[in-house]
Structure 1
């Protein structure tokens, strides 16, 4: 076993072995640690490489296992590809090309699944309808786009439905169907929410209007609608391709 080697890659420190760094002799790292390319040192004496420290995690793990492991919905394939090209690790470049081909196919064929339900609630002599919706999609980008456009109002205050999660899986919404002003005042007393859409600030009055706004947001965001079912049963399934 060789002595551990510490690398400073763009300010991030990694410790590994000479065997790992020279796994692919034709790569830049293979040449550096075989002595055919010069090695720069930082002030602590660590080998310094002026590249993206965050991306080097995936480079190093590939050198260790010869297998590319990426998080679900990894969003920086192009950046990682540039880093792999810099380090001239051909097997990693080939693995990235396969993943990019699959990712492109999934992105181009997007399914949006809207599960919805409603129930009636009595407030004195009034009856109001509460609408519940869950939106699922094969595209996290489309979910993030939708969640950034819809917002609630609670007692006159706006509240975004955007969860800010990196790997958002679905959007969950619940609001009151719009009715008479007197009824809406009673909604607010019950702390129920109204639903609005940006940038028009229109109130979503019913499910049909919600469906129309979902399609409008998706199309304006670069998604091309391919089919719209004529049935009114839940779930509603929409098919898009991303332009």
Structure 2
């Protein structure tokens, strides 16, 4: 994968951004990449004593498809008595539909005007056979309880960002709600499909999954309708 990124005729991945002058920026974890480069240079895994980010390094090695490094990490974890992650499946589907909303807008003390605005509603279904990863997904999207989630290995989310033209009181009256992600101090609204899938991708890689399929267009990952991840 790392070599294929720069091979002529290969479609450019969303993580690879040309910077000019023959330089490229790879939107991946920079600290982990240091150990990947050392492995490629030396041909062996040489991590500092007490290194505690093997799961992240394994996710990065899987992204770049460096099989010898993945094998070396498995051997390291086995020697340390660290259980290898169990096989699991993660599936994320997201769909959007526009909705025309009519409301009365107050233009003066006794003047009301009928207005309309389009509200984009998003629906997402996540299925994951790893309870820990599923719990991380729920926490990432602020689903601390079952009020917006189904039981079992899947849960459903529905949200609709509030258009600037729609009064807050009308937004609440329609029963619409936004979707938020991030922890304290970094809470941000998920506006649409790209923001949602980016968060799903982050959590999946943090838990050792690799991307298996993208529908409908593999070259437009963050605007896709369905992502499938696997962990062997």
TM-score, with structure 2 as normaliser: 0.46
Q: Which structure has the higher relative contact order (CA within 8 Å, separation 6+)?
A: 2
Structure with higher Rg: it is 1
TM-score, with structure 1 as normaliser: 0.44
